[in-house]
Amino acid sequence: MNRTIRSIRSTVGKAFILWAVALTFPVSPTVAVDHQASGGAEQQRQSHHDELTFTQIDVPGATLTRAQGINDRGQIVGPFADADGVLHGFLLDKGVFTQIDVDVPGVTSTEPFGINNRGQIVGYFLEAGGIAHGFLLNDGTLTQIDFPSAAQTIALGINNRGQIVGSFSDTGGAVHNFLFDKGAFIQIDFPGGAPLPMDAGNIIGINDRGQIVSQFRDARGTLHGFLLDDGVFTTIDVPGATGTGISGINHIGQMIGVYVDSDGTPHGFLLDQGVVTTIDVAGATVTIPFGINNRGEIVGTYVDAQGPTPGGFTHGFLLDDDVFTTIDVPGPSETELAGINNRGQIAGVYRDAEGITHGFLLDKGTFSTIDAPDAASETALLDINNRGQILGGFVDAAGTVTYFLLDDSVLTPIEFPGALLTFPFDINNRGQIVGGYIDAGGTEHGFLLDKGTFTTIDVPDALMTQVLGINNRGQIVGTYLDAGGTQHGVLVDKGTFTTIDVPGFPATTALDINDRGQIVGASFRPSGDVQ
């Protein structure tokens, strides 16, 4: 089972995100797309949906805290307001808050928006008079970002190649989007979009392929999502929705977004091969799929409307053959499911009446609580293989996140020697674990953990290597970026690296591999088509 999202950040610590990959159900509406470029060509799009649920993050003593950006290392940036109402930036890393203030005379506030895996932070600051300037903070060095001749500039996002997206207002007050790449600015305006402040300037995401997603308002004020890929704009509208917005895109083209139905109710959605799928448990106010096994069973979480507060209670669920089954640990008010193996054993977390998070195993109708001995307040389970071996993580008293393997009641930490962060992606039925780690210089590497021994997996001369899946024969698949920034799939078999490129596609990712050596993945045409 391929895990491209580190779920430990979903359930451990003060700041965490719940991610889920939504499955396409038999009945779902199709998405309306409109491709606009100089030739006006129409194309087909594919994407996938990762739904987010945010848990409270508070800077100590602050009157306001907003989390606005997170990287794959779990580092979070955003602004907070002090007792005097002044905005400062913060970086939250392993439970520790670090204040970020632009040290320029006359600056009245600082607001970070995005952070990439290299720790580069973008945002904006206000000087006297309320004028906004974008900034890049790289290893302690601040670079001011101002679009030429702009009245104000805001930097909103940065990918791992250092490409920055944001918005600026011209001297007439109209707001435009921009891309800043290798010292050059490119203005981005959706054709026909209304040039209104705060509406045209909302680029949210850019991936490592340079694909940009955002939203715009038309002349009637209706909100639409869009994708900009290689100069081609694609409008994304959920049929029947009164508004659609796209907020992020990852390196394989999976998009996240929200739409509002005719009753004014928001829903998260999956966009896959031109099909929008809404996954709602009957009567729930929020539904988030979380995991799937090889039999097609889906586990996740939903919020009902029956709680003592408007937020309701949170429950886990199992979806099998289109039938929802609620899973609640007896007594607690919240239950979340993380993984299921082919024996039907389910791993997850629950929160007790005191707000403490515990892991649990559900086996043949019996719940067993799992708490890491050194956990201060949180233990989370991530995945489970067919031998019942469990991947998980916990937060200790110092706020440090540690991943672990739980095997026959023995807990073993997973920590690559000397790494800033270690995160597992997959475990096979032999107990071999693959994942990634961030070295002291901020570079991501793959690893194999077998019988207590770590082996680094780096494609020769690659800028970055991600190891995503392993089968029971020990064959490993993943993806890497070459020296020119091009993305390739890779198979690692008995120490031999084999590059996987689909002919006619400039980018390929290998996602998973079965025991027969068959590989599944994704490939991309220059037009943005995904196969």
User: Any idea which of 222-226, 236-240, 301-305, 430-434 has the lowest mean pLDDT?
Assistant: 301-305
Q: Where does a domain end: 381, 414, 447?
A: 414
The predicted model gives 450-459 an average pLDDT of 92
Tell me if 259 is assigned to some domain: no
**In a domain? residue 76:** no
pLDDT at 389: 92
Q: Is the sign of the CA dihedral 271, 274, 279, 285 positive or negative?
A: positive
3-state secondary structure of 332: coil
Q: Are residues 388 and 481 in the same domain?
A: no
- Indicate if 304 and 410 belong to the same structural domain: yes
Residue 350 in this model has a pLDDT that exceeds 60: yes
Q: How many domains does the chain have?
A: 2
pTM over 0.75: no
- Residue 25 and residue 279 in contact, taking contact as beta carbons nearer than 8 Å: yes
**Range in 191-205, 428-442, 475-489 with the lowest mean pLDDT:** 191-205
Question: Are 408 and 495 members of one domain?
Answer: no
Closest CA to 50 of 15, 18, 8: 18
Concatenate the DSSP letters of all residues of 426-459 into one string.
Answer: EE-TT--EEEEEE-TTS-EEEEEEETTEEEEE--
Domain containing 321 equals: 1-23+282-414
Choosing from 414, 446, 471, the residue where a domain stops is 414
Q: d(Cα 306, Cα 166) in Å, to the nearest integer?
A: 41
> Do 288 and 381 fall into the same domain?
yes
236 and 225 Cβ atoms separated by less than 8 Å: yes
Question: Does 104 fall in a domain?
Answer: no
Q: Does 290 have pLDDT greater than 60? A: no
Any domain includes 399: yes
Longest dimension (CA), the chain: 67
> 444 and 404: one domain?
no
- Are residues 331 and 376 both part of a single domain? yes
Note whether residue 275 is domain-resident: no
Residue 519, in any domain of the structure: yes
| Within-domain flag for 518 | yes
pLDDT by residue (tens digit) across 494-525?
Answer: 889 999 988 878 888 888 888 888 888 887 66
Instruction: Report residue 254's pLDDT band, with 50, 70 and 90 as the boundaries.
Output: low
Please tell me whether residues 360 and 445 are part of one structural domain: no
CB atoms within 10 A of CB 92: 22
- 344 and 451 share a domain? no
460 and 493, same domain (yes or no): yes
Q: 452 with 374, same domain?
A: no
Q: Residue length, the chain?
A: 531
Q: With 50 as the cut, is the pLDDT of residue 9 above it?
A: no
pLDDT of 460 reads: 93
Instruction: Please give the C-alpha separations between residue 528 and each of 232, 244, 254, 256, 273, in angstroms, as whole numbers.
Output: 9, 20, 12, 16, 12
In this predicted model, what pLDDT tens digit does every residue of 125-184 receive, in sequence order?
A: 999 888 999 999 998 899 999 999 999 999 988 888 899 988 888 888 788 888 999 889
Place of tokens 């890049």: 136
> Within a domain: residue 327?
yes
Q: Distance between CA atoms of 270 and 22, rounded to whole angstroms?
A: 6
Residue 294 binned pLDDT confidence (cut-offs 50, 70, 90): very low
492 and 369 together in one domain: no
Domain C-terminal end among 414, 446, 476: 414
